[in-house]
């Protein structure tokens, strides 16, 4: 543990100064959070003694049956998964805990996990906490390169492959349909666990929905992970994991031994939100909201960042991944000066395990107004330009 880097601590503590625009954390827009619906649901749950006490007592470590049913009926079919059983669903403490529980079950110190290059900082920190060695697989705009995956697999004998297929964090790319099929086939052929982490999938504002990798899984090697943070509320800390019952039984043991279960009231709210059709009613509004913000962010990056800056326009999600042109200051170093230009972001190096990424940054726009996005990108762009000789 002594060597466990505090990247995430620094990330969160970077947010304390109130006049700094925090483009670092991927907070969703307040406007995306269904506060009015939650007021109504909360009243309904707490006003009746029976449901009130149910909300406040212990319950099933696997998660409330109502919520597991709602996930199976309302969410998984949207990912190309039909006939899911509630017994194959485990409710977790946010999306992050799907990774933690999977590590408890499958990872011993020294095991290798193959990840995309680049990949989600916080996931890398989770894997490091379990003393796994992360090895990155080369990617193109369609996801992991299958040749490099096969080569790394043979070389490192990994216990797990970790993929973020939709609007990847941080690169913004989406794994193509063909590549999804190939990944499922690969996991089946090599009998290796593939962790499919898809928290942004519902935030698509361009292009067509794609079926999940899990939907092509024939032998139960794929664990599908998701979060309620972007479609309901991040503060409620809800996520879920969908896998074969054999895997769920081990995850269940790890869950009971680490923190018993997820808060019951929170699960009841989310279950009712799904069951009453509130999610379907609202998701279009949320997509339009982010489509607009993404347009504003893209325009302001083009306008203010130095020429030669590169970013891929994502088809969904809450952030842009920008690569600065040659001659700019290292982004880790730029971040140290954030109090001068009053903008925070995540420096690129934390998303790599091989020393790359010092010319990259991840910029989140989810919870800012048009004016804030424009002003923040303006100040940041000006600062970057001034560092360039």
How many of the other CB atoms lie within 10 Å of CB of 335? Answer: 20
- Which of 18, 19, 83, 109 forms a contact with a second copy (CB under 8 A)? 109
Q: Does 265 bind a second copy (CB under 8 A)?
A: yes
Q: For a second copy, which residue of 89, 137, 182, 254 counts as binding (CB under 8 A)?
A: 254
What is the nearest approach in angstroms of a second copy to the Cβ of residue 215? Answer: 27
- Establish if 230 lies at the interface with a second copy (CB under 8 A): no
Closer residue to a second copy in complex, CB, 168/229:
229
Buried b (16+ CB within 10 A) or exposed e, 223-253: bbbbbbbbbbbbebbbbbbbbeeebbeebbe
Looking at 55-63, 73-81, 153-161, 289-297, which segment touches a second copy (CB under 8 A)?
Answer: 55-63
CA dist., res. 224 & res. 312, Å (int): 26
Q: Is residue 180 part of the contact set for a second copy (CB under 8 A)? A: no
In DSSP terms, which residues pair with 163 in a beta bridge? Answer: 196
CA atoms within 13 A on the CB side of 117: 17
Of 187, 288, 226, nearest in space to 84 by CA? 226
Q: Does 132 contact a second copy by CB under 8 A? A: no
C-beta closer to a second copy: residue 55 or 113: 55
Which part of the chain contacts a second copy (CB under 8 A), choosing from 111-119, 261-269, 296-304, 336-344?
261-269
Residue 38 interacting with a second copy (CB under 8 A): yes
Q: Quick one: 105 or 201, whose CB is closer to a second copy?
A: 105
Which window, 46-54, 82-90, 146-154, 338-346, contacts a second copy (CB under 8 A)?
46-54
Tell me which of 190, 250, 282, 356 binds a second copy, using CB under 8 A.
250
CA 218 to chain centre: 25
Residue 27 binds a second copy, judged by CB under 8 A: yes
Interacting span for a second copy (CB under 8 A) from 44-52, 190-198, 301-309, 330-338: 44-52
Dihedral sign (CA 287, 292, 296, 298): positive
Burial of 19 (0-12, 13-18, 19+ CB in 10 A): exposed
Q: Which stretch binds a second copy (CB under 8 A): 193-201, 252-260, 298-306, 349-357?
A: 252-260
Distance CA 231, CA 283 (A): 7
Q: How far apart are CA 314 and CA 166, in angstroms?
A: 9
Name the token pair of 172.
């913004």
Q: How many C-beta atoms surround the C-beta of residue 17 within 10 A?
A: 11
9 in contact with a second copy (CB under 8 A)? yes
CB-nearer residue toward a second copy: 29 or 375: 29
Binding of a second copy by 262 (CB under 8 A): yes
Q: Which of 20, 25, 282, 287 binds a second copy (CB under 8 A)?
A: 25
- Find where tokens 């049956």 sit: 65
Binders of a second copy among 346-375, rule CB under 8 A? 367
Provide the CB-side half-sphere exposure for 44 (13 A, CA): 13
CB closer to a second copy, 89 vs 213? 89
Q: How far is the CB of 54 from a second copy (least distance, A)?
A: 8
Shortest distance in whole angstroms from residue 126 CB to a second copy: 5
**Min separation Cβ 281 and a second copy, Å:** 18
46/145 with CB nearer a second copy? 46
Nearer to a second copy, 35 or 386 (CB): 35
Q: Footprint of a second copy on this chain (CB under 8 A)?
A: 1, 4, 6, 8-9, 12, 25, 27-28, 30, 33, 35, 38-39, 42-43, 46-47, 49, 52-61, 92-94, 96-97, 100, 104-106, 108-109, 122, 125-126, 128-129, 229, 233-237, 249-250, 252-254, 256-266, 367
């Amino acid at each position: 543990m002594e060597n466990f880097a505090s990247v995430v601590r620094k990330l969160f503590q970077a947010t304390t100064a109130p006049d700094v625009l925090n483009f670092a954390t991927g907070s969703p827009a307040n406007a995306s959070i269904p506060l009015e619906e939650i007021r109504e649901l909360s009243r309904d749950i707490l006003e009746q003694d029976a449901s009130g006490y149910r909300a406040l007592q212990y319950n099933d470590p696997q998660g409330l049956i109502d919520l597991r049913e709602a996930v199976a009926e309302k969410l998984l079919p949207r990912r190309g998964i039909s006939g899911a059983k509630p017994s194959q669903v485990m409710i977790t403490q946010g999306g992050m805990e799907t990774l933690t529980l999977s590590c408890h079950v499958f990872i011993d110190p020294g095991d290798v996990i193959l990840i995309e290059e680049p990949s989600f900082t916080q996931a890398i920190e989770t894997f490091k906490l379990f003393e796994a060695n992360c090895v990155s697989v080369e990617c193109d705009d369609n996801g992991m390169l299958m040749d490099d995956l096969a080569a790394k697999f043979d070389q490192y004998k990994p216990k797990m492959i970790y993929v973020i297929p939709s609007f990847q964090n941080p690169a913004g790319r989406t794994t193509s349909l063909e590549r999804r099929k190939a990944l499922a086939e690969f996991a089946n052929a090599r009998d290796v666990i593939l962790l499919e982490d898809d928290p942004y999938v519902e935030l698509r504002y361009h292009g067509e929905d794609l079926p999940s990798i899990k939907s092509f899984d024939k032998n139960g090697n794929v664990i599908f992970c998701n979060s309620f943070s972007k479609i309901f509320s991040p503060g409620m800390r809800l996520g879920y994991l969908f896998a074969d019952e054999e895997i769920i039984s081990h995850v269940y043991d790890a869950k009971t031994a680490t923190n018993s279960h997820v808060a019951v009231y929170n699960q009841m709210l989310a279950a009712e939100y799904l069951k009453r059709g509130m999610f379907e009613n609202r998701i279009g509004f949320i997509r339009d909201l982010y489509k607009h913000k993404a347009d504003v962010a893209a325009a302001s990056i083009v306008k203010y960042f130095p020429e030669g800056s590169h970013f891929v326009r994502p088809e969904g999600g809450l952030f842009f991944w920008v690569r600065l042109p040659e001659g700019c200051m290292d982004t880790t170093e730029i971040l140290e000066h954030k109090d001068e230009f009053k903008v925070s972001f995540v420096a690129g190096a934390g998303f790599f395990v091989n020393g790359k990424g010092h010319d990259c940054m991840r910029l989140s726009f989810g919870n800012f107004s048009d004016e804030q996005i424009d002003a923040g990108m303006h100040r940041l762009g000006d600062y970057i330009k001034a560092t360039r000789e």
